[in-house]
DNA sequence: GCGTGATACTTGACACGACAATGAATTACG
DNA sequence: CGTAATTCATTGTCGTGTCAAGTATCACGC
Protein backbone atom coordinates (compact mmCIF):
# COMPACT_ATOMS: atom_id res chain seq x y z
CA UNK A 1 0.00 0.00 0.00
CA UNK A 2 1.48 3.29 -1.10
CA UNK A 3 2.10 6.15 1.28
CA UNK A 4 -0.60 8.77 0.93
CA UNK A 5 0.04 12.01 2.77
CA UNK A 6 -3.06 14.11 3.32
CA UNK A 7 -1.75 16.82 1.07
CA UNK A 8 -1.80 14.45 -1.86
CA UNK A 9 -4.88 12.55 -0.79
CA UNK A 10 -7.15 15.57 -0.99
CA UNK A 11 -5.31 16.80 -4.06
CA UNK A 12 -4.22 19.96 -2.35
CA UNK A 13 -2.05 22.05 -4.60
CA UNK A 14 -0.16 23.95 -1.92
CA UNK A 15 1.61 22.42 1.06
CA UNK A 16 0.05 23.15 4.42
CA UNK A 17 1.17 26.48 5.74
CA UNK A 18 0.51 25.54 9.36
CA UNK A 19 1.12 22.26 11.10
CA UNK A 20 -1.95 22.92 13.26
CA UNK A 21 -4.17 22.99 10.21
CA UNK A 22 -2.66 19.84 8.83
CA UNK A 23 -3.13 17.99 12.11
CA UNK A 24 -6.72 19.15 12.50
CA UNK A 25 -7.63 18.11 8.98
CA UNK A 26 -5.98 14.76 9.57
CA UNK A 27 -7.98 14.24 12.73
CA UNK A 28 -11.27 15.22 11.10
CA UNK A 29 -10.68 13.17 8.00
CA UNK A 30 -9.54 10.07 9.83
CA UNK A 31 -12.45 10.33 12.23
CA UNK A 32 -14.92 10.66 9.36
CA UNK A 33 -13.53 7.71 7.47
CA UNK A 34 -13.50 5.42 10.48
CA UNK A 35 -16.95 6.55 11.44
CA UNK A 36 -18.17 5.60 7.99
CA UNK A 37 -16.62 2.16 8.23
CA UNK A 38 -18.19 1.41 11.58
CA UNK A 39 -21.48 2.83 10.40
CA UNK A 40 -21.53 0.31 7.59
CA UNK A 41 -20.76 -2.55 9.96
CA UNK A 42 -23.48 -1.56 12.39
CA UNK A 43 -26.00 -1.11 9.59
CA UNK A 44 -25.64 -4.79 8.78
CA UNK A 45 -27.09 -5.39 12.22
CA UNK A 46 -29.85 -2.82 11.85
CA UNK A 47 -28.06 -0.26 14.00
CA UNK A 48 -26.52 3.16 13.46
CA UNK A 49 -23.29 4.24 15.10
CA UNK A 50 -25.16 6.35 17.61
CA UNK A 51 -27.50 3.53 18.50
CA UNK A 52 -24.59 1.15 19.00
CA UNK A 53 -22.89 3.72 21.20
CA UNK A 54 -25.91 4.01 23.44
CA UNK A 55 -26.11 0.24 23.82
CA UNK A 56 -22.37 -0.06 24.45
CA UNK A 57 -22.48 2.61 27.13
CA UNK A 58 -25.41 0.89 28.82
CA UNK A 59 -23.66 -2.45 28.78
CA UNK A 60 -20.46 -0.90 30.10
CA UNK A 61 -22.33 0.67 32.96
CA UNK A 62 -24.16 -2.54 33.79
CA UNK A 63 -27.24 -0.83 35.16
CA UNK A 64 -30.10 1.34 33.89
CA UNK A 65 -29.06 4.94 33.31
CA UNK A 66 -30.89 8.28 33.05
CA UNK A 67 -31.03 9.90 29.62
CA UNK A 68 -28.79 12.74 30.69
CA UNK A 69 -26.00 10.46 31.81
CA UNK A 70 -26.05 8.74 28.45
CA UNK A 71 -25.98 12.07 26.64
CA UNK A 72 -23.00 13.14 28.73
CA UNK A 73 -20.90 10.24 27.58
CA UNK A 74 -21.75 10.70 23.95
CA UNK A 75 -20.67 13.89 22.27
CA UNK A 76 -24.24 14.71 21.57
CA UNK A 77 -26.65 17.31 22.68
CA UNK A 78 -29.49 16.25 24.92
CA UNK A 79 -32.47 16.51 22.54
CA UNK A 80 -30.90 14.02 20.17
CA UNK A 81 -31.06 11.35 22.81
CA UNK A 82 -34.84 11.35 22.93
CA UNK A 83 -35.27 10.35 19.32
CA UNK A 84 -32.41 7.92 19.57
CA UNK A 85 -34.05 6.16 22.51
CA UNK A 86 -37.38 6.27 20.69
CA UNK A 87 -36.00 4.25 17.81
CA UNK A 88 -34.15 1.84 20.05
CA UNK A 89 -37.37 1.32 21.96
CA UNK A 90 -39.20 0.59 18.71
CA UNK A 91 -36.62 -2.11 17.97
CA UNK A 92 -37.14 -3.40 21.50
CA UNK A 93 -33.48 -2.92 22.34
CA UNK A 94 -34.05 -0.67 25.35
CA UNK A 95 -36.88 0.00 27.77
CA UNK A 96 -37.85 3.25 29.46
CA UNK A 97 -38.62 3.34 33.17
CA UNK A 98 -39.62 6.51 34.89
CA UNK A 99 -37.98 6.80 38.28
CA UNK A 100 -40.28 6.76 41.29
CA UNK A 101 -38.27 9.07 43.51
CA UNK A 102 -37.68 11.83 40.95
CA UNK A 103 -40.40 11.56 38.36
CA UNK A 104 -38.52 13.81 35.92
CA UNK A 105 -35.80 11.31 35.17
CA UNK A 106 -36.28 8.38 32.84
CA UNK A 107 -34.10 5.33 33.26
CA UNK A 108 -33.00 3.48 30.15
CA UNK A 109 -32.43 -0.24 30.37
CA UNK A 110 -31.03 -2.82 27.97
CA UNK A 111 -33.28 -5.64 26.86
CA UNK A 112 -31.98 -9.23 26.55
CA UNK A 113 -32.28 -8.82 22.79
CA UNK A 114 -29.86 -5.90 22.92
CA UNK A 115 -27.39 -7.89 24.99
CA UNK A 116 -27.52 -10.60 22.35
CA UNK A 117 -26.97 -8.15 19.49
CA UNK A 118 -24.05 -6.55 21.32
CA UNK A 119 -22.51 -9.96 21.84
CA UNK A 120 -22.88 -10.75 18.15
CA UNK A 121 -21.11 -7.50 17.33
CA UNK A 122 -18.13 -7.88 19.65
CA UNK A 123 -16.16 -10.07 17.26
CA UNK A 124 -16.79 -8.03 14.10
CA UNK A 125 -16.07 -4.78 15.94
CA UNK A 126 -12.74 -6.02 17.20
CA UNK A 127 -11.96 -7.38 13.73
CA UNK A 128 -12.66 -3.97 12.24
CA UNK A 129 -10.51 -2.31 14.89
CA UNK A 130 -7.63 -4.47 13.81
CA UNK A 131 -8.33 -4.02 10.12
CA UNK A 132 -8.28 -0.27 10.49
CA UNK A 133 -5.23 0.21 12.66
CA UNK A 134 -3.76 -3.23 13.18
CA UNK A 135 -0.79 -2.25 11.05
CA UNK A 136 0.39 0.21 13.69
CA UNK A 137 2.76 -1.07 16.32
CA UNK A 138 1.77 -1.15 19.98
CA UNK A 139 4.12 1.73 20.58
CA UNK A 140 2.57 3.79 17.81
CA UNK A 141 -0.94 3.09 19.07
CA UNK A 142 0.03 4.21 22.52
CA UNK A 143 1.68 7.34 21.19
CA UNK A 144 -1.36 8.11 19.02
CA UNK A 145 -3.76 7.77 21.95
CA UNK A 146 -1.49 9.91 24.07
CA UNK A 147 -1.31 12.69 21.51
CA UNK A 148 -5.07 12.68 20.91
CA UNK A 149 -5.72 12.85 24.63
CA UNK A 150 -3.37 15.75 24.92
CA UNK A 151 -5.07 17.38 21.93
CA UNK A 152 -8.49 17.18 23.56
CA UNK A 153 -7.18 18.97 26.63
CA UNK A 154 -7.20 22.15 24.58
CA UNK A 155 -10.98 22.03 24.27
CA UNK A 156 -12.47 25.15 25.85
CA UNK A 157 -14.93 24.37 28.63
CA UNK A 158 -18.50 25.50 27.99
CA UNK A 159 -19.51 22.28 26.28
CA UNK B 1 -6.00 21.93 32.98
CA UNK B 2 -6.00 18.46 34.47
CA UNK B 3 -4.94 15.39 32.52
CA UNK B 4 -7.96 13.46 31.34
CA UNK B 5 -7.24 10.05 29.83
CA UNK B 6 -10.07 8.70 27.71
CA UNK B 7 -10.68 5.88 30.13
CA UNK B 8 -11.57 8.36 32.83
CA UNK B 9 -13.21 10.86 30.54
CA UNK B 10 -15.94 8.49 29.45
CA UNK B 11 -16.14 7.02 32.94
CA UNK B 12 -15.18 3.60 31.74
CA UNK B 13 -14.95 1.15 34.62
CA UNK B 14 -12.50 -1.27 33.06
CA UNK B 15 -9.24 -0.37 31.39
CA UNK B 16 -9.14 -0.92 27.65
CA UNK B 17 -8.38 -4.48 26.80
CA UNK B 18 -6.99 -3.58 23.37
CA UNK B 19 -4.79 -0.66 22.41
CA UNK B 20 -6.49 -0.72 18.99
CA UNK B 21 -9.86 -0.06 20.57
CA UNK B 22 -8.49 2.72 22.71
CA UNK B 23 -6.86 4.42 19.72
CA UNK B 24 -9.98 4.11 17.58
CA UNK B 25 -12.20 5.56 20.28
CA UNK B 26 -9.72 8.39 20.77
CA UNK B 27 -9.77 9.16 17.07
CA UNK B 28 -13.56 9.09 16.85
CA UNK B 29 -14.06 11.14 19.98
CA UNK B 30 -11.48 13.77 19.12
CA UNK B 31 -12.84 14.06 15.59
CA UNK B 32 -16.39 14.48 16.86
CA UNK B 33 -15.45 17.12 19.38
CA UNK B 34 -13.42 19.16 16.92
CA UNK B 35 -16.15 18.81 14.32
CA UNK B 36 -18.61 20.24 16.82
CA UNK B 37 -16.38 23.21 17.58
CA UNK B 38 -15.92 24.08 13.94
CA UNK B 39 -19.61 23.57 13.28
CA UNK B 40 -20.38 26.22 15.87
CA UNK B 41 -17.90 28.64 14.34
CA UNK B 42 -19.29 28.17 10.85
CA UNK B 43 -22.85 28.57 12.04
CA UNK B 44 -22.03 32.11 13.14
CA UNK B 45 -21.45 32.79 9.46
CA UNK B 46 -24.60 30.99 8.31
CA UNK B 47 -22.70 27.92 7.15
CA UNK B 48 -22.53 24.29 8.17
CA UNK B 49 -19.31 22.30 8.21
CA UNK B 50 -20.23 20.54 4.99
CA UNK B 51 -21.03 23.77 3.25
CA UNK B 52 -17.76 25.34 4.36
CA UNK B 53 -15.91 22.28 3.12
CA UNK B 54 -17.43 22.60 -0.33
CA UNK B 55 -16.48 26.25 -0.52
CA UNK B 56 -12.95 25.59 0.77
CA UNK B 57 -12.41 22.85 -1.80
CA UNK B 58 -13.61 25.11 -4.59
CA UNK B 59 -11.33 27.92 -3.49
CA UNK B 60 -8.40 25.56 -3.18
CA UNK B 61 -8.97 24.31 -6.68
CA UNK B 62 -9.28 27.81 -8.08
CA UNK B 63 -11.61 26.85 -10.91
CA UNK B 64 -15.18 25.54 -11.33
CA UNK B 65 -15.48 21.84 -10.55
CA UNK B 66 -17.98 19.12 -11.46
CA UNK B 67 -20.21 17.83 -8.67
CA UNK B 68 -18.58 14.44 -8.69
CA UNK B 69 -15.12 15.81 -8.15
CA UNK B 70 -16.33 17.71 -5.11
CA UNK B 71 -18.00 14.60 -3.77
CA UNK B 72 -14.77 12.68 -4.21
CA UNK B 73 -12.82 15.04 -2.00
CA UNK B 74 -15.38 15.00 0.73
CA UNK B 75 -16.05 11.69 2.37
CA UNK B 76 -19.60 11.84 1.17
CA UNK B 77 -21.79 9.85 -1.09
CA UNK B 78 -22.88 11.46 -4.33
CA UNK B 79 -26.57 12.16 -3.66
CA UNK B 80 -25.73 14.29 -0.65
CA UNK B 81 -23.89 16.76 -2.84
CA UNK B 82 -26.99 17.71 -4.78
CA UNK B 83 -28.85 19.02 -1.78
CA UNK B 84 -25.71 20.65 -0.43
CA UNK B 85 -25.22 22.57 -3.66
CA UNK B 86 -28.92 23.41 -3.74
CA UNK B 87 -28.68 25.21 -0.41
CA UNK B 88 -25.43 26.94 -1.28
CA UNK B 89 -27.06 28.12 -4.48
CA UNK B 90 -30.00 29.48 -2.49
CA UNK B 91 -27.55 31.49 -0.40
CA UNK B 92 -25.93 32.67 -3.63
CA UNK B 93 -22.57 31.25 -2.62
CA UNK B 94 -22.15 29.02 -5.67
CA UNK B 95 -23.49 28.92 -9.21
CA UNK B 96 -24.29 25.92 -11.40
CA UNK B 97 -23.13 25.81 -15.01
CA UNK B 98 -23.92 22.93 -17.25
CA UNK B 99 -20.94 22.05 -19.42
CA UNK B 100 -21.34 22.57 -23.15
CA UNK B 101 -19.17 19.69 -24.32
CA UNK B 102 -20.66 17.04 -22.04
CA UNK B 103 -24.12 18.15 -21.04
CA UNK B 104 -24.29 15.61 -18.23
CA UNK B 105 -21.76 17.33 -16.03
CA UNK B 106 -22.58 20.38 -13.94
CA UNK B 107 -19.80 22.76 -13.01
CA UNK B 108 -19.96 24.44 -9.63
CA UNK B 109 -18.44 27.88 -9.28
CA UNK B 110 -17.79 30.18 -6.33
CA UNK B 111 -19.54 33.54 -6.29
CA UNK B 112 -17.70 36.69 -5.15
CA UNK B 113 -19.89 36.64 -2.05
CA UNK B 114 -18.51 33.20 -1.19
CA UNK B 115 -14.94 34.37 -1.66
CA UNK B 116 -15.65 37.19 0.74
CA UNK B 117 -17.18 34.90 3.36
CA UNK B 118 -14.25 32.50 3.06
CA UNK B 119 -11.85 35.37 3.55
CA UNK B 120 -13.72 36.50 6.64
CA UNK B 121 -13.45 33.00 8.03
CA UNK B 122 -9.74 32.49 7.46
CA UNK B 123 -8.71 34.30 10.62
CA UNK B 124 -11.25 32.71 12.96
CA UNK B 125 -10.55 29.26 11.51
CA UNK B 126 -6.83 29.60 12.11
CA UNK B 127 -7.53 30.96 15.60
CA UNK B 128 -9.65 27.92 16.35
CA UNK B 129 -6.96 25.64 14.97
CA UNK B 130 -4.53 27.15 17.44
CA UNK B 131 -7.01 27.12 20.30
CA UNK B 132 -7.68 23.44 19.78
CA UNK B 133 -4.17 22.12 19.35
CA UNK B 134 -1.87 25.08 19.80
CA UNK B 135 -0.62 23.57 23.04
CA UNK B 136 1.06 20.75 21.16
CA UNK B 137 4.64 21.28 20.10
CA UNK B 138 5.58 21.35 16.43
CA UNK B 139 7.18 17.97 16.88
CA UNK B 140 4.04 16.50 18.41
CA UNK B 141 1.85 17.92 15.65
CA UNK B 142 4.08 16.40 13.04
CA UNK B 143 4.09 13.06 14.81
CA UNK B 144 0.30 13.16 15.17
CA UNK B 145 -0.22 13.88 11.48
CA UNK B 146 2.22 11.14 10.61
CA UNK B 147 0.45 8.55 12.76
CA UNK B 148 -3.00 9.49 11.44
CA UNK B 149 -1.79 9.27 7.87
CA UNK B 150 -0.36 5.87 8.58
CA UNK B 151 -3.64 4.88 10.26
CA UNK B 152 -5.67 5.78 7.18
CA UNK B 153 -3.51 3.54 5.05
CA UNK B 154 -5.28 0.58 6.63
CA UNK B 155 -8.57 1.61 5.08
CA UNK B 156 -9.79 -1.14 2.77
CA UNK B 157 -10.37 0.07 -0.78
CA UNK B 158 -13.95 -0.10 -2.02
CA UNK B 159 -14.86 3.35 -0.76
C1' DG C 1 -29.29 5.91 -37.42
C1' DC C 2 -30.43 2.70 -33.23
C1' DG C 3 -30.30 0.09 -29.40
C1' DT C 4 -27.32 -1.00 -25.24
C1' DG C 5 -24.80 0.14 -21.56
C1' DA C 6 -22.17 3.47 -18.86
C1' DT C 7 -21.82 8.07 -16.76
C1' DA C 8 -23.40 12.38 -14.21
C1' DC C 9 -26.44 13.90 -11.72
C1' DT C 10 -31.27 14.32 -9.44
C1' DT C 11 -35.20 12.93 -6.69
C1' DG C 12 -37.77 10.82 -2.86
C1' DA C 13 -38.08 8.39 1.51
C1' DC C 14 -36.21 7.86 5.94
C1' DA C 15 -32.98 8.45 9.95
C1' DC C 16 -29.92 11.42 12.43
C1' DG C 17 -27.72 15.66 14.81
C1' DA C 18 -27.99 20.57 16.30
C1' DC C 19 -30.72 24.16 18.00
C1' DA C 20 -34.70 26.59 20.11
C1' DA C 21 -38.73 26.38 22.60
C1' DT C 22 -41.87 23.94 25.55
C1' DG C 23 -43.83 20.95 29.25
C1' DA C 24 -43.46 18.71 33.57
C1' DA C 25 -41.47 17.71 38.03
C1' DT C 26 -38.48 19.25 41.62
C1' DT C 27 -35.91 22.35 44.46
C1' DA C 28 -34.70 26.98 46.48
C1' DC C 29 -36.00 30.70 49.08
C1' DG C 30 -38.41 34.81 50.82
C1' DC D 1 -46.42 28.03 52.25
C1' DG D 2 -46.05 29.80 47.36
C1' DT D 3 -43.67 31.66 43.76
C1' DA D 4 -39.37 31.49 41.17
C1' DA D 5 -35.52 29.14 39.42
C1' DT D 6 -33.67 24.77 38.06
C1' DT D 7 -33.57 20.25 36.11
C1' DC D 8 -35.05 16.41 32.97
C1' DA D 9 -37.07 15.27 29.04
C1' DT D 10 -39.71 16.01 24.77
C1' DT D 11 -41.25 18.26 20.42
C1' DG D 12 -40.54 20.82 16.00
C1' DT D 13 -37.52 22.68 12.44
C1' DC D 14 -33.67 22.60 9.49
C1' DG D 15 -29.58 20.69 7.20
C1' DT D 16 -27.49 16.54 6.27
C1' DG D 17 -26.29 11.44 5.06
C1' DT D 18 -27.91 7.03 3.16
C1' DC D 19 -30.18 4.07 -0.01
C1' DA D 20 -32.98 3.07 -4.08
C1' DA D 21 -34.75 4.56 -8.17
C1' DG D 22 -35.09 7.75 -12.00
C1' DT D 23 -33.60 11.08 -15.89
C1' DA D 24 -30.53 12.92 -19.22
C1' DT D 25 -26.53 12.48 -21.86
C1' DC D 26 -22.70 10.17 -24.00
C1' DA D 27 -20.02 6.23 -26.29
C1' DC D 28 -19.92 2.10 -28.66
C1' DG D 29 -21.27 -1.60 -31.87
C1' DC D 30 -24.01 -2.84 -35.61
Q: B51-97 pLDDT, tens per residue?
A: 999 999 999 999 999 999 999 888 778 889 999 999 999 999 999 99
Q: Which of A4, A32, A138 sits opposite B149 (nearest CB)?
A: A4
Q: Which residue is nearest to nucleotide C27 (CA to C1')?
A: A102
pLDDT tens digit sequence for A11-47: 554 556 788 899 999 999 999 889 989 998 999 898 9
Q: Does A63 touch chain B (CB under 8 A)?
A: no
Domain spans, chain A: 35-148
B41 neighbors B124 (Cβ within 8 angstroms): yes
pLDDT score for A104: 87
One of 1.10.10.10, 1.10.1200.10, 2.40.160.210, 1.10.940.10 is the CATH number of A35-148, namely 1.10.10.10
Please, what's the b/e burial string for A30-66 (b: 16 or more CB within 10 A of its CB; e: otherwise)?
bbbbbbbbbeebbeeeebebbbbbbbebbeebeebbe
Residues of chain A with Cβ-Cβ distance to B22 below 8 Å are: 141, 145
pLDDT score for B136: 95
Q: For the residues B97-122, what does the mean pLDDT come to?
A: 94
* A122/chain B closest Cα distance in angstroms: 11
CATH code given to domain B45-121: 1.10.10.10
Residue to mutate among A9, A12, A151, A153, with most B CBs inside 10 A, is: A151
How confident is residue B159, by pLDDT bands cut at 50, 70 and 90? very low
pLDDT tens digit sequence for A68-123: 888 888 877 888 888 899 999 999 999 998 888 888 899 999 999 999 999 999 99
B128 neighbors B37 (Cβ within 8 angstroms): yes
Distance between CA A8 and CA B82 in Å, rounded? 26
Residues of chain A with Cβ-Cβ distance to B129 below 8 Å are: 18, 20-21, 24
Amino acid sequence: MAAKPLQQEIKKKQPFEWPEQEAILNILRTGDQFQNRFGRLFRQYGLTSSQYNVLRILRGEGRPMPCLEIAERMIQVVPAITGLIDRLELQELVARNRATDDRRVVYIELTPKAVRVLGDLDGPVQDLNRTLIGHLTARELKELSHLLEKARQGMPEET
